[in-house]
Structure 1
Amino acid sequence: MADILIVDDEPVHCDSLQLFLEENGHRVSIASSAEQAFDLVERTPFRALLLDIRLPGLDGLSAIPRLRSRLGDAPIIVMTAFGTLDTAMESLKLGVFEYLIKPFSLSDLRGVLRRALASEATAPADPVTPAPPAGDAEAPAIIGTSPAMQRIFNQIAMVASTDVPVLITGESGTGKEIVAQTIHRYSRRGGSRFVPVLLAALSPGLIESELFGHARGSYTGAESHRTGLLEQAAGGTVLLDELGDIPLSLQVKLLRAIEQREVSRVGEDLPRRIDARFLAATNRSLPDLIARGLFREDLYYRLGVYHIELPPLRDRREDIPELARHFLSRVSALHPSRGFSSAAMDELLNRPWRGNVRELRNAVEHAALVSRGTLIAPSHLPLPLGGLPPRPSGSGVSMRSEVERWLKERIANEDPQTWKARLHGELLTEVEDDLIELTMRLCQDNQSAACRVLGVDPKTLRSKLATASLKRRT
């Protein structure tokens, strides 16, 4: 049994937590503001505190120092539905025990509370103080307020101040390199180099030299000494990107470099010490590669000490408006736009986004260019990855039904002997002419923009426009 204080201004949430905790044998007090909590901690030696961040008056994080002065080492568990990377980092700096994302399950709370109360029996660990992020105004930001992204913020906050290797996985375009850069910026190494190594892009014959360096004369063409990428990251962070594409022959040498903190340049016997943190990223399933004998299990466990799995954009659609406005603001200087129409935003919210955040960014930049400073409409957006949108089901007119209608009309009114000779070419010509005409209209006669939408080169487009113009005159 423990005395527990809940500080939250949502009565329904408080009632639910109180009922659950009392059923588990605890005594519960409730405060709806930080100011009420200050009065309660003066009278009762609470053994744990559940604290919401958004409160009327003083916010939860700002209240922690004063609460801590009365609670001593009692664990503080922060609760929030509106977390950001900054709040996660600040919570860690203030020494909170756990950072729970609303809505959380009662079973999750039970586990956290059990660990929190057990921690009282041991000497409390010193709060981890994350380094302030390196000052870089152009550094890419991680955007999102969805529960999925709040969990990512919490993970970044927990791991940034350590030196453990981190494995970042997720589909292509989810932002794995940006997460790696953020971990680096908030770490004690943030003032040193961040060295991304795109393993799949390195020449198979030179990959060892690129990573570890080489001595002069070690092979034909090695006319001078070369410092490898791992050495270049001295004091900083290395990102091993597309880790799943590294050849087996090199994996054992990479494992040794990570474990021993040293590399041997090609053509040298004397190892050189390195001081770098290792992060890795991949969109491939490493366990599957291990099962197929294509990836070393020991390297997987060495680099996967901590694992961050990034969600695809389709699993956090509530972040799309904020992401779209962010990307639009970044290109507004070159291609000013008044924003998104409601129809355009609905289109963004409903697309499949197979290319994830990267595809969304490209779509917004494209629309900003095509819209020419006007409100972005659905017509300004490029086609989704994978080609034309799927045919609508239920109501609406599909391309297939239109082709069928056109074909039936021609068959009914023409000599069957001419079908094979003419219909195929006529349909392609008619569809192409309409496609080009409509695209030029939507792009406001901007041929460069129309080329990007259609995927044709300018010479081809000019030729087809001239042909269409000739047809109209004749």
Structure 2
Amino acid sequence: MSRILVVDDEPAIGWSLREMLTDEGHAVDVTANVADALAAATRSRPDAILLDVRLPGRDGIDAIPDLRETGPAPIVVMTAFGDLDTAVRAVRAGAFDYLVKPFDLEHVSAVIARALSQWLPREPAGEPEATPPPLVGSSAAMQEVYKRIAAAAADERPLLITGLAGSGKDLAARAVHAHGPRPGGPFVATSLAALAPTAIGGELFGSSDAAGLLEIASGGTLLIEAIEVAQPEVQARLANVIATRELFRGGTAYPLDARLIVASRLGPETLALDQRLTALVSPAPIAMPALADRCDDIEPLVRSFLARHAAATQAATVPAVSPEFLAAVLGRDWPENVRDLRAAVEHAAVIARGAVLRPEHLPPREVTATGAGPLETAGHGVDTAIKDWAAAARAAFGRLPEPDLHNRAIRLVEATLLREALAHAGGNRTAAAKLLGLDRATLRTKLRQFGLDD
């Protein structure tokens, strides 16, 4: 039987935790403030502690070092006011885990069981030295992100961050950097999707007479976005640099002194990386949720964007938001997630010119963050699909003597386009050829090549 100490000034929570833990066979002590908790911990030496943050007289997290002096019990922090700062403070102070109220008692039970069976002592650390960039939201999905960021900040291994376009991968990386041991060092970011394939190696590793980003980020953090587009040989070289902590350039070895974060729009289950690189990356990636999975955060995000826009434009006041505006925002799809939402809110602030924001101030539905219409939006979808296909194709064919990805992609796209043109023309090949800009003989040949000449 284990002894659990619950520290919470809300009687209902203390009662419910006592009942649940007692039913599971634990002995339970409940206190309502830090002074009583310290006395109980000294007296009974608990095997685990559930500790609220906001307690009368003294903050729970501030009391963790004193509770540590009473014994090595793992401490699980509880709070109704979850944010990134609280998560980081809790982890840095040595908390085993972090629970956000209201919580599911079954989840509490699982955390306590894990704490009792798997806990390893952690050394308390000081307060973070830098303020992280703004990550806004208190939804369950973002609470998980905050916990992962807090854990990743204390781990120097390479980190993977995944998430759809515009979901905040860059902000998460900056938060890891700001709360890690290198906040005073440079934060350097690059997107491999913006580079020609032949330029990626030089960008990362440098040349005989110029340093690459791995050196430029020395003493800080390097974020490599769109890691999935890196060629296999680049990924293999990157894995070797990480493993040896050395970078060779122009015949000279340079020490690697940068925290590496890689990011991708692909999830871990579909992301095909070099085997050695995968083994070197932390097994606890950060998955940034889509905006559709954190709707509770939309109103705080809107208000945050408005406040930042007002500050940037030196506006006298932050515009007010009507309920109808919030309803319109909640009723829309945001293909590029937080990035789209921010662009729309800033557009509305400009159009409203200080007045209360209303639905008519939002940009038209067909306009995206880049000002694109339906054709451009569809084109963006094609671009995303091609990138995903290319990543999968490299994994499947990249080691063949002739991977031939170009011809494979062209055949895939061309066959689909021919089928769509024929369907649109009702099977009339003359009309389909005109729509495609081909003569009938060329169309007939292509249909025969793709087995579409029924």
Pairwise mapping of residues 431-470 of structure 1 onto structure 2 (< 5 A)? none
Query: Superposed, which structure 2 residues align to 1:100-249 within 5 Å?
Result: 100-118=99-117, 125-129=121-125, 132-134=128-130, 140-215=133-208, 225-249=209-233
Cα distance in 1, alignment partners of residues 342 and 319 from structure 2: 17
What is the CA deviation profile of residues 392-412 of structure 1, one whole-angstrom value per residue up to 9, with x for unaligned ones? Answer: xxxxxxxxxxxxxxxxxxxxx
The secondary structure found in structure 2 opposite 1:240 is strand
Task: Output the amino acid matched with 1:239.
Answer: L
Q: Structure 1 residues 350, 15: closer, same or farther in 2, change over 3 A?
A: farther
Question: For residue 287 of structure 2, what is the aligned residue in structure 1?
Answer: 309
8 Å contact from structure 1 (residues 50, 79) kept in 2: yes
Which of the pair has more CA radius of gyration?
Answer: 1
Q: Whole-Å Cα distance in 2 between the matches of residues 312 and 103 of structure 1?
A: 23
Tell me what 1:82 maps to: 81
How far residue 299 of structure 1 moved from its aligned partner, in angstroms, is: 2.1
Q: Which residue of 2 aligns with 1:49?
A: 49
The number of residue pairs the alignment matches comes to 367
Q: Contact 2:306 / 2:319 at 8 angstroms: preserved in 1? A: no
- State whether structure 2 residue 246 is matched by structure 1 residue 262: yes
CA separation of 1:110/1:241 partners in 2, compared to 1, >3 Å: closer, same or farther? same
The equivalent of 1:281 in structure 2 is 263
Q: C-alpha distance in 2, partners of 1:210/1:316? A: 35
Counterpart CA distance in 2 for 1:94 and 1:356 is 33
> What's the TM-score, normalizing by structure 1?
0.71
- Is the partner of 2:308 in helix, strand or coil? helix
Contact 2:65-2:124 at 8 Å conserved across structures: no
Separation in 2, partners of 1:30, 1:109? 16
- Structure 2 gaps of 5+ residues are 373-454
Change (3 A) 1:321 1:343: same
SS of match in other structure, 1:144:
coil
Q: Which position in structure 2 is the counterpart of 1:420?
A: none
CA distance in 1, matches of 2:364, 2:92: 45
Contact 1:244–1:286, Cα closer than 8 Å, also in 2: no
Q: How does 1:295-306 map to 2 (within 5 A)?
A: 295-306=273-284
**2:310 pairs with 1:332:** yes
Provide the C-alpha distance between the structure 2 equivalents of 1:354 and 1:190, rounded to a whole number of angstroms: 32
3-state SS of 2:198 partner: coil
Question: C-alpha distance in 2, partners of 1:227/1:207?
Answer: 13
SS in 1 for 2:269: helix
Is 1:320 matched up with 2:320?
no
Q: Give 2:228's aligned amino acid.
A: G
Q: CA deviation at 1:271?
A: 3.4
Determine the structure 1 residue equivalent to 2:14: 14
Q: Determine whether 1:344 maps to 2:325.
A: yes
> What secondary structure, in the 3-state scheme, does the structure 2 residue paired with 1:82 have?
coil
For residues 370 and 104 of structure 1, do their structure 2 counterparts lie closer, same or farther at Cα, with a shift above 3 Å needed?
A: same
Counterpart Cα distance in 2 of 1:48 and 1:372: 55
CA distance in 2, matches of 1:119, 1:316: 31
Corresponding residue to 1:368 among 343, 349, 352 = 349
Question: Within 2, Cα distance between the matches of 1:208 and 1:131?
Answer: 38
- The answer to whether the Cα contact below 8 Å between 1:278 and 1:303 also exists between their aligned partners in 2 is no
Identity rate, percent: 40
Separation in 2 of the partners of 1:337 and 1:50? Answer: 40
Q: Structure 2 counterpart of 1:164, which letter?
A: R
Aligned partners of 2:48, 2:366: CA distance in 1, in Å?
50
Give the equivalent residue in structure 1 for 2:71. Answer: 72
3-state DSSP class of the match of 1:227? coil
Q: Is the 8 A contact 1:165 1:305 kept in 2?
A: no
SS at structure 2 position matched to 1:195: strand
Q: Secondary structure at the residue paired with 2:4?
A: strand
Q: SS in structure 2 opposite 1:339?
A: coil
SS at match of 2:99: strand
Give TM-score, length-normalised by structure 2. 0.74
Kindly state the Cα deviation for residue 113 of structure 1 after the two structures are TM-superposed: 2.3
Task: Say if 2:79 and 2:100, in contact at 8 Å, map to a contact too.
Answer: yes
Q: How far off is 1:274 after superposition?
A: 1.8
Match for 1:326: what amino acid? S
Match of 1:379 among 351, 354, 360: 360
For the residue of structure 1 that corresponds to 2:326, the secondary structure is helix
After superposition, give the CA deviation of every residue in 1:313-354 in whole Å (9 maximum; x if it has no partner): 121111112111111111114255532112112222332222
Aligned to 2:59: 59
Aligned to 2:389: none
Cα gap change, 1:178/1:133 in structure 2, threshold over 3 Å: closer, same or farther?
A: farther
* Structure 2 partner of 1:436: none
- Name the CA shift for 1:158/1:13 in 2 (closer, same or farther; >3 Å): same
The aligned runs of 1:85-96 (5 Å cut-off) are 85-96=84-95
Call closer, same or farther: CA 1:55–1:4 in 2, change over 3 Å.
Answer: same
Residue equivalent to 1:272: 254
Contact 1:33-1:55 within 8 A present in 2 as well: yes
Partner of 1:453: none
Alpha-carbon distance, 1:196 to partner = 0.7
Distance 1:364 1:301 in 2: 41
Q: Deviations over 1:358-404 (max 9, x none)?
A: 1111111101110011111111011345789xxxxxxxxxxxxxxxx
Counterpart amino acid of residue 311 in structure 1:
P
The 8 Å contact of residues 48 and 76 in structure 1, kept in 2 or not, is answered as: yes
In structure 2, the CA distance between the partners of 1:164 and 1:128, relative to structure 1 (3 Å rule), is: farther
Which deviates further from its counterpart, 93-102 or 373-382?
93-102
In 2: Cα distance, 1:386 partner to 1:259 partner: 46
Pick closer, same or farther for the CA change 1:204–1:31 going to 2, 3 Å: same
